[in-house]
Amino acid sequence: MKNFLPLISVIVPVYNAQDYVERCVRSLMKQTYQNLEIILIDDGSTDDSLDICGKLKMEDGRIRVFSQPNRGVGAVRNLGLSLAQGAYLAFVDSDDWIDSDMYESLWKLMAERQADIVCCAHCREEEKRTVVVGGGADILEFSRKDAFEALRQEQFILNFLWDKLFRRELFDGITFPEKRKFEDLIVSPQWLSKADKVVYLSQPKYHYSVRSGSLTNGIKSTDMDWRYEMVKALAEQNRFCKEHHLWEKASGKLFRTCVHLLNRLLLLPVTPAYQQMQAYCLSVIQEKDSVKGLGISYRFKQWLLADCWVIYTHLYRWGKKFTCRNVG
C-alpha cells in the first residue's frame, strides 16, 4: 500500500531534546501511513540529540538527518522545505508526539474532501494534566474566507504548523523569518491565503508538550522581550491580512496582547527598551481600525488608552496596589 500513496515529508526541528526526541521520532516511525520522509534537522544542540537522531536513522531508511549551527527554528524550517521531496508537508516539534493514525486520518480527509489543508485537535500535555484543545466528533469544512475568520478568532484553525497536513505547493515562495520568535504567526496567513478549502478534524491526534528549553517554549511568559516579539509578530500578521483584504474585522488577540504588555510595563522601572515597547504598543492601539468590528469593551479601552493614557496609568497602578494591600 505504501507505494501507491503520495509521499509526505515530515520536518522535525531538533534542539537540545535528548530526553524527548526518540519518543517523537518513534511515533513517526509507527505511523499507519507508511510512505513518509522523516527529516530531522539538529539546530546546534549541545546535548546528545544529534547522536540519538543518528541511531534512529540506522533503524529506519525513511529517516534523513541533517545538522547546522544554531540559527533558530525559522532557519531549520527553511532548510527542511528545501530538502523535502514529498507532495505533502507536515511539521512536528521534537519534544512532541503524534497518534499512530494521525497522518492516515488527515490524508484520508484530504483525499475525500479535496482539501488543501487538513488540521486536527490536539492535546496539551502539561506536567500534571492533559488538556484537549478543540476536541469533539465533528468534521468541519472552511472556505478561504471562513478559514481566515476562524484564524482571526483562534477557533479550529490555529497558527501552529504541527497540527496540520499541507499540500506542498502552499509553501512555494514562502520563507520563514530567521532569528525571530513567533515565526508561525508571520507565515500562517501566507500559506492560508493559497488554500481554497481547509478541513478540520475534531479528534485530537497531536500531543503538544509544554516544557522549558524547547525551540518554541524556551522563553518564560514573564519575559518582556518575549511579549514584545509576540506583539510585533501579531502586528505583522494583521498588516498582511489588512493589505490583502483577508480580515474584515480587527485582530482581538493583537489588541489584547498590546494591552497586557502595557499593563506589565506599568509595574516595572522605566528603561529605554521598555519605553520603546510602550510607544510601539500605543501606536498599534491608536490606529483607527485597531478595534474594527470588535465589541464595545474594546472600543472603550482603546479610547481610554489612546486619549486618557495618564489617567489610565494612575488607575491601573492604584488598582494593583489596592489589590496587593487587600491580599496582604
For residue 74, is it left (φ>0), alpha (ψ between -120 and 50) or beta? Answer: alpha
Range 107-119 average pLDDT: 97
Residue 163 has what pLDDT? 96
Residue 293, phi then psi, degrees to nearest 5: 80, 0
The pLDDT tens digits for 242-297 are 999 999 999 999 999 999 999 999 988 889 999 999 999 999 999 988 999 999 99
Q: Which CATH number fits domain 2-209: 3.90.550.10, 3.40.50.300, 2.40.30.10, 3.20.20.70?
A: 3.90.550.10
Q: Count of CB atoms within 10 A of residue 2's CB?
A: 10
The pLDDT tens digits for 43-60 are 999 999 999 999 999 999
The pLDDT tens digits for 62-111 are 999 999 999 999 999 999 999 999 999 999 999 999 999 999 999 999 99
The helix (run of H) or strand (run of E) holding residue 15 is: none
Residue 228 has what pLDDT? 94
Residue 221 has what pLDDT? 41
Q: Tell me which DSSP letter residue 84 carries.
A: -
Q: Is the pLDDT of residue 325 over 90?
A: no
Q: Are 224 and 268 in contact (CB under 8 A)?
A: yes
Rounded distance between C-alpha atoms, residue 59 and residue 40, angstroms: 14
Residue 211 has what pLDDT? 66
Q: Tell me which DSSP letter residue 155 carries.
A: S
At residue 10, the 3 state secondary structure works out as strand
Rounded distance between C-alpha atoms, residue 201 and residue 212, angstroms: 29
Q: Tell me which DSSP letter residue 2 carries.
A: G
Range 146-167 average pLDDT: 95
Q: How far is CA 114 from CA 86, 190, 197, 203, in A?
A: 18, 20, 8, 19
Q: Are 48 and 22 in contact (CB under 8 A)?
A: no
Q: Is the pLDDT of residue 184 over 70?
A: yes
Residue 200 has what pLDDT? 97
- pTM of the full predicted structure? 0.90
Query: Taking the domains of the chain in order of start, what are their residue ranges?
Result: 2-209, 224-327
| Sequence letter at residue 94 | S
Rounded distance between C-alpha atoms, residue 291 and residue 112, angstroms: 39
Outline where the chain has alpha helix (H): 21-29, 49-59, 73-83, 102-113, 144-153, 183-192, 224-243, 252-265, 272-286, 296-307, 309-327
For residue 182, is it left (φ>0), alpha (ψ between -120 and 50) or beta? Answer: left
Q: Are 42 and 14 in contact (CB under 8 A)?
A: yes
Rounded distance between C-alpha atoms, residue 206 and residue 196, angstroms: 24
Rounded distance between C-alpha atoms, residue 275 and residue 265, angstroms: 9
Residue 220 binned pLDDT confidence (cut-offs 50, 70, 90): very low
Cell of 144: 478561504
Residue 204 binned pLDDT confidence (cut-offs 50, 70, 90): very high
